[in-house]
Structure 1
Amino acid sequence: MTADHAPVRGEATGGLFSGTHAPATVSFAAVMFLTGFAALAVVPTLPSAAQDLDGVSLYPLVAGCFVAASLLGGVLGGHWADRAGAHRPLAAGMVLAVVTLLVSAASTSIWHLAAGRFLDGLAGGMVAVSVNAAIGQAYPDRLRPRVLALMSACWVVPSLVGPPLAGLVTEWWSWRAVFFGLAGITVLPAVAVAVVLRGPSWGVVPAPSGEGAPRPALVVATAVSLGAALGQYGVSGWDLRHLLCTAGALVLVTAFASRLLPPGTWRAERGLPATVLLRGLGSGVFFTLEAYVPLLLITERDAPPVVIGLAFTGAAVAWAGSSWVQGRLLERSPRHRLVAAGAIVQAAAVVLAIAGTLPATPAYTAASAMVVAAVGMGMFAPSLTVLSLTHSPPGRQGHASSAMQTTQNLGQIAVLGFSSALFNVFLGGGAADAVGYGAAFGLLLAPCVLAALLAARARSV
């Protein structure tokens, strides 16, 4: 067997837990589990931390800077992976994750906490992109849908137990204990990743001559990340300061975002550009529903907390179950058709959310929208990741993964921002809150329909 056909690159015959792939599979699973646990568990602690640090007015920035920083982390991690192999940014991201949890735990001001969350987002972006790039480098085509389904499943338990457990620790002890505890349990997989991925088989795979990935300057990625952070802050209010931040965000993102993406992304050109664009559309719809449905249930439907908790739990299980089905039972189905099906399922979820704004419908109608949307994402996201790796030549998986991470974050910011703006316009005009929610949800039908129509352009050859 020649070097071009080494087992780690694509012709291995074993399964995910065979001798060839077992160390990487176990390491990746542990990384995704604890990364998901850390990302989800800290969410219930942030309001308490902001209140304790006398920074409630800056809570939108604390909550949004994680997403903005993960955009920058994805770009840095992806290009680092292409230059030096996925093992280095993955190990560095895990080490940084431990450090940032300690920074947040020791916060003495709201800006200190915001800095910790920004660094945590940087680490999270590096880890997420590096794992996808490593999967492209470590597994053959036939195993990629299965390992991606396993990665999605590794988020189920954190989604089930992370937020309520963190809430209990915060209530009974301290929000700082949550951050310190997460730092402690993340040390072991950080060390394991650094050890397992040191082997020579994880070296970088050079890009073919003339096909080197463009490497945007650090200032470009920083500008887009800053624009994303400004956008998150800007849509939280309507005074002059917030409007100026929103305008600055639009300028920065418009000027620099395209440099981080494959040429033709905004035109949905066939192949990787369309695949990258689709990731942003789907993620924007799902995470906007995840933000507004709980708010609707609390403010308009007087739903008990258990209903909201069950909605998050159901969504986590539905996402993992749908991902397992597409990776196991539908692994021979054309990926672009699964993407189109996922977009249609998301549209059905949006319709449920709109129906949930009506007083005549039960509260669980809106709650079920999160679960149905998660079913769509379980089909949508892994299929797009497989397509992105298929469209990427050797040595370019990191570039493709970073582009996917970039549009995922931009999609979340843009779709949520437009929905928030529309919601506030209706409320400012004197409309009932339910009408504002209905308008914000109705806007989500546009990216759903667009994704279903463009799915064929992501088809693999």
Structure 2
Amino acid sequence: MTDRAPAPAEATDEGLFSRTYATATASFAAVMFLTGLAALAVVPTLPTAARALDGVTLYPLVAGCFVAASLLGGVLGGHWADRAGAHRPLAVGLVLAVVTLLVSGASTTIWQLAAGRFLDGVAGGMVAVAINTAIGQAYPESLRPRALALMSACWIVPSLVGPPLAGLVTEWWSWRAVFFGLAGLTLLPTLVVMAALRAHSRPRPAEPAADQPARPALLVALGVSVGAALAQYGVSAWDPRHLLFAAGGVALLVVFAPRLLPPGTWRAARGLPATVLLCGLGSGVFFTLEAFVPLLLVTERDAPPMVIGLAFTGAALAWAASSWVQGHLLPRCPRHRLVVAGALVQMAAVVIAAVGTLAAVPAYTAAAAMPVAAVGMGMYAPSLTVLSLAHSPPDRQGYASSAMQTNQNLGQISVLGLTAALFNACLGVGSPDPAGYAAAFALLLLPTALAAALAVRARGA
């Protein structure tokens, strides 16, 4: 974030680490690495923490509230970035991330742990949106794909080492040590990054034009976040009480979610609305595969934990490699065509997962679906981010990034929820477990096909 960022459409021969952009690039990369490490490394500790706090029945809430809270954090970060520049929500998000690690590590009840994860989601949403906004403000259009590819790599690298190390610390020492250790590990780098961001902050953006849509109230974002949390809790069981919570959560989402998205999102209006819709579809498919494939491997194929860990590692590497390819080798390829390619690759991954439910195929076939889907996301996600920035004037890039983050999380919640509902329905009528998994994977073909068909509506100018 330099004092005078090049105009978005300006061509440049400079690289990300040239004198003009080196400080911004290093700061953004450090932010993504730190937040990725903090967010991903704690995931293996959550089941152990829930059991230690006598809150196993509330584990779905603990696991899902991060995504729900990031909806609120994304809207808050986007509004703040448009008003005062991206460096302020970025700095606050980093500090909040450290505080939430301390809150979670000191938990004496499952509700305190859930509160810590909720606050961590707020911090993560703020940071993710602020980073995307800052890239739009700091780099010319020609460098944005490379910058976004670098951010993807900096987020993914911690996923290669963080979860295994956290699992070892939890097994050999304590789950609390993971949270406290991460807080201590990230505190000093966070202070350094904050100082760099402040020294190279961008002046306050101009006020938005009068014909731009009004920014949604944070109360609306809170309603969506609470609705998502209630829905996540509601699907953890199928008794009347849980169904009531699920119905209340869905009602809040139906009422408030459209107000956080660009008009025309649900009908895929050309430009930013279609781009935002596609973000939710692709993210929902990928993270649903990430949830159901390991479950299939454990419950039906008796796969050892090492295989599942390798599947996650392979997915992280595949996402980073694919993102690098689209940013460096395909910079002039129309972004909407890369979205189509990514959706088709995701469709292939869904088919592989479905085939993996058959007893006649090797037990680990389904594991291959995760890295294949990650290849699709490596093309899909950065291309949509570039398109969202291209569709937005400079003073509305925070709003666009917030809408992308919001629908990404809504997509995860919605696609995963619908898939889980179909899976449980199949089991409820007596279908064998493999048939339930096959039906769940078959359902995922619908959003992938829809994304491939609608990609042209997100085409840039």
TM band (smaller chain): over 0.9
Task: Find the counterpart in structure 1 of residue 101 from structure 2.
Answer: 101
Map of 1:446-461 to 2, 5 A cutoff?
446-461=446-461
Q: What CA distance in whole angstroms lies between the structure 2 residues aligned with 1:158 and 1:209?
A: 40
Q: What CA distance in whole angstroms lies between the structure 1 residues aligned with 2:445 and 2:54?
A: 39
Q: What CA distance in whole angstroms lies between the structure 2 residues aligned with 1:257 and 1:307?
A: 38
Task: Find the counterpart in structure 1 of residue 437 from structure 2.
Answer: 437
Alpha-carbon shift at residue 178 of structure 1 (Å): 0.4
Q: What CA distance in whole angstroms lies between the structure 2 residues aligned with 1:90 and 1:168?
A: 31
Task: Find the counterpart in structure 2 of residue 222 from structure 1.
Answer: 222
Give the aligned residue type for 1:191: L
Give the aligned residue type for 1:280: G
Alpha-carbon shift at residue 306 of structure 1 (Å): 1.3
Map of 1:72-221 to 2, 5 A cutoff?
72-199=72-199, 201-212=201-212, 214-221=214-221
Task: Find the counterpart in structure 2 of residue 248 from structure 1.
Answer: 248
2:77–2:130 CA contact under 8 A, matched in 1: yes
Alpha-carbon shift at residue 193 of structure 1 (Å): 2.7
Give the aligned residue type for 1:380: Y
Alpha-carbon shift at residue 214 of structure 1 (Å): 1.9
Alpha-carbon shift at residue 37 of structure 1 (Å): 1.2
Alpha-carbon shift at residue 201 of structure 1 (Å): 5.0
Task: Find the counterpart in structure 2 of residue 316 from structure 1.
Answer: 316
Secondary structure of the structure 2 residue equivalent to 1:430: coil
Secondary structure of the structure 2 residue equivalent to 1:202: coil
Task: Find the counterpart in structure 1 of residue 51 from structure 2.
Answer: 51
Alpha-carbon shift at residue 212 of structure 1 (Å): 4.5
Task: Find the counterpart in structure 2 of residue 32 from structure 1.
Answer: 32
Task: Find the counterpart in structure 2 of residue 358 from structure 1.
Answer: 358
Give the aligned residue type for 2:181: G
Q: What CA distance in whole angstroms lies between the structure 2 residues aligned with 1:17 and 1:54?
A: 49
Alpha-carbon shift at residue 30 of structure 1 (Å): 1.0
Secondary structure of the structure 2 residue equivalent to 1:130: helix
Q: What CA distance in whole angstroms lies between the structure 2 residues aligned with 1:243 and 1:208?
A: 42
Task: Provide the TM-score with structure 1 as the length reference.
Answer: 0.97
More deviation, 154-163/297-306: 154-163
1:357–1:366 CA contact under 8 A, matched in 2: yes
Give the aligned residue type for 2:403: A
1:293–1:366 CA contact under 8 A, matched in 2: yes
1:207–1:396 CA contact under 8 A, matched in 2: no
Aligned residues: 458
Superposed CA offset, 1:269-305 (max 9, x none): 0000000000000000000000000000000001111
Task: Find the counterpart in structure 1 of residue 336 from structure 2.
Answer: 336
More deviation, 303-312/207-216: 207-216
Superposed CA offset, 1:44-85 (max 9, x none): 100010011011010000000000000110000001100110
Task: Find the counterpart in structure 1 of residue 390 from structure 2.
Answer: 390
Alpha-carbon shift at residue 420 of structure 1 (Å): 0.3
Secondary structure of the structure 2 residue equivalent to 1:154: helix
Superposed CA offset, 1:231-269 (max 9, x none): 111111100111001111111000000100000000100
Q: What CA distance in whole angstroms lies between the structure 2 residues aligned with 1:272 and 1:192?
A: 35
Secondary structure of the structure 2 residue equivalent to 1:333: coil
Alpha-carbon shift at residue 406 of structure 1 (Å): 0.4
Alpha-carbon shift at residue 451 of structure 1 (Å): 0.1
Q: What CA distance in whole angstroms lies between the structure 1 residues aligned with 2:358 and 2:383?
A: 34
Pair 1:305-2:305 in alignment: yes
Give the aligned residue type for 2:441: F
Gaps of 5+ in 2: none
Q: What CA distance in whole angstroms lies between the structure 1 residues aligned with 2:203 and 2:343?
A: 37
1:159–1:316 CA contact under 8 A, matched in 2: yes
Give the aligned residue type for 1:98: V
Secondary structure of the structure 2 residue equivalent to 1:94: helix
Give the aligned residue type for 2:327: G
Q: What CA distance in whole angstroms lies between the structure 1 residues aligned with 2:17 and 2:213?
A: 32
Alpha-carbon shift at residue 40 of structure 1 (Å): 1.2
Q: What CA distance in whole angstroms lies between the structure 2 residues aligned with 1:237 and 1:37?
A: 31
Q: What CA distance in whole angstroms lies between the structure 2 residues aligned with 1:401 and 1:24?
A: 18
Secondary structure of the structure 2 residue equivalent to 1:237: coil
1:27–1:189 CA contact under 8 A, matched in 2: no
Task: Find the counterpart in structure 1 of residue 422 from structure 2.
Answer: 422
Give the aligned residue type for 2:111: W
Superposed CA offset, 1:340-385 (max 9, x none): 1100000000000000000111122100000100000000000000
Alpha-carbon shift at residue 219 of structure 1 (Å): 1.3
Q: What CA distance in whole angstroms lies between the structure 1 residues aligned with 2:247 and 2:271?
A: 32
More deviation, 56-65/194-203: 194-203
Q: What CA distance in whole angstroms lies between the structure 2 residues aligned with 1:454 and 1:369?
A: 23
Alpha-carbon shift at residue 166 of structure 1 (Å): 0.2
Secondary structure of the structure 2 residue equivalent to 1:197: helix
Task: Find the counterpart in structure 2 of residue 402 from structure 1.
Answer: 402
Q: What CA distance in whole angstroms lies between the structure 1 residues aligned with 2:127 and 2:99?
A: 14
Secondary structure of the structure 2 residue equivalent to 1:363: coil
1:213–1:399 CA contact under 8 A, matched in 2: no
How has the CA–CA distance of structure 1 residues 94 and 8 changed in structure 2, closer, same or farther, with 3 Å as cutoff? Answer: farther
Q: What CA distance in whole angstroms lies between the structure 1 residues aligned with 2:426 and 2:317?
A: 34
Give the aligned residue type for 2:270: R
Give the aligned residue type for 1:19: R
2:301–2:364 CA contact under 8 A, matched in 1: no
Q: What CA distance in whole angstroms lies between the structure 1 residues aligned with 2:290 and 2:81?
A: 31
Alpha-carbon shift at residue 9 of structure 1 (Å): 4.2
Gaps of 5+ in 1: none
2:5–2:137 CA contact under 8 A, matched in 1: no
1:207–1:393 CA contact under 8 A, matched in 2: no
2:30–2:193 CA contact under 8 A, matched in 1: no
Pair 1:285-2:285 in alignment: yes
State percent identity of aligned pairs: 75
Alpha-carbon shift at residue 207 of structure 1 (Å): 4.5
Q: What CA distance in whole angstroms lies between the structure 2 residues aligned with 1:188 and 1:270?
A: 44
Alpha-carbon shift at residue 460 of structure 1 (Å): 0.3
Secondary structure of the structure 2 residue equivalent to 1:155: helix
Alpha-carbon shift at residue 133 of structure 1 (Å): 0.3
Q: What CA distance in whole angstroms lies between the structure 1 residues aligned with 2:202 and 2:213?
A: 19
